Structure 1
Amino acid sequence: MARIPYPDLDDPTIAPVVERIVAERGRVLKLYEMLLHSPPVAAGWLGFLTAIRQQCLLSGRIRELVIMRVAVINGAEYEFRAHIPFSLKEGISQLQINDLREGQFATFDVSERAALDYCESMTRNVKVPETVFAAVRLHFNDRELVELTATIGAYNLVSRFLEALQVDHE
């Protein structure tokens, strides 16, 4: 159960942001319901996460791999469950989803393992050792590295927000 109540979605002061969320996402998920306590934060979050998920050149497969791994590391089951359908759509098998949960990366190729190692370092330690960065650098150009780094950072924010406020699962 969420630590604070969800706002009333019929509140006219949040109507413009609710309409934008519905237009872009199809519905208002519990995560966005909670964010709507602060319309400016909800609007900024929507813009940032839409850019991460829909406007970057980083492959969807890599994006979903690191999102799922961040969720596991941070114990964010809501985030993990929410991204299973996206992961499957990006060609990640159920076996690989299970491997992500277990921290087993043998079923992934070398570039995916490099991205997952980078994700592990960023999420667990913040500072990334030079050896880990050098390995990921071999597989991603500058733009992809920025997008990979931003994706990992963004979904650390998502999982921490979800878990701190104990946002209910859909």
Structure 2
Amino acid sequence: MARVPYVTQDDLDPEYQELVVSSLQPGKTVNVYSAIGNNQEVLRGLREFLGALWNHSGLTDRQREIVILTAASEIGSAYEWHQHVTIATDAGLEPAEIGAIARDDRRALPDEERALVAYTRAVVRGRVTDALHEAVVEYVGEETTVGAAATAAGYLALGRIIDALDVDLEAGDEFVGWDPE
């Protein structure tokens, strides 16, 4: 049970009402945003920040989902993992690759994506080395490396908020599991 009530659109001022709705599933209110909606300005700012990461990080959809899934698995955020497994599949990740990310078994991924996973885990742990940074820059360039770092840190923050508020999966959802195979 969440530590805060899940607000509905009707609980919010009109300019905030759409912020509790999933941008990927129009009309579907999601618990994470409904919980954060207890502070409408924080919800707005967080949605803008996550939207910037989503749309302007320089990462491909596949790379973005690798970063998000890696961050979620690193901190054990079942909610965030659950939300992104389907998105990652739609972005081209195979179930075996998704399970490998959860196990931190990088062998299933090409070198570029291995570097991205290692880098993301290091960002989440606060232990990025020059060698890891340079490896990612080599593959994706400096601008996208900044986007990868920001995405990893942003989803780390979101995962910690989910944990602090004890956000539940949406009603009727059953956790997909750490290995979707």
TM-score (norm 1): 0.91
Show the 5 A alignment for 1:15-164. Answer: 15-22=14-21, 24=23, 26=26, 27-124=28-125, 126-164=126-164
How many aligned residue pairs are there? 168
Question: AA paired with 1:150?
Answer: A
Q: Which runs of 5+ in 1 are unaligned?
A: none
Question: AA paired with 1:139?
Answer: Y
CA deviation string 1:32-78 (max 9, x = no partner): 10111111111111111112123443111111011001111111000
Q: Which runs of 5+ in 2 are unaligned?
A: 171-181
1:169 partner SS: coil
Q: 1:22 to 1:163 in 2, by over 3 A?
A: closer
1:50 partner SS: helix
What is the identity percentage for the equivalent residue pairs of Structure 1 and Structure 2?
Answer: 27
TM-score (norm 2): 0.86
2:112 partner SS: helix
2:101 partner SS: helix
Distance 2:21 2:70 in 1: 27
**Per-residue deviation, 1:80:** 0.3
**Per-residue deviation, 1:159:** 0.6
Q: Which residue in the other structure is 1:2 paired with? A: 2
**Per-residue deviation, 1:142:** 2.0
Question: AA paired with 1:98?
Answer: G
Question: AA paired with 1:93?
Answer: E
Question: AA paired with 1:19?
Answer: E
Q: Which residue in the other structure is 1:14 paired with? A: 13
Distance 1:66 1:83 in 2: 11
Question: AA paired with 2:136?
Answer: V
2:49 partner SS: helix
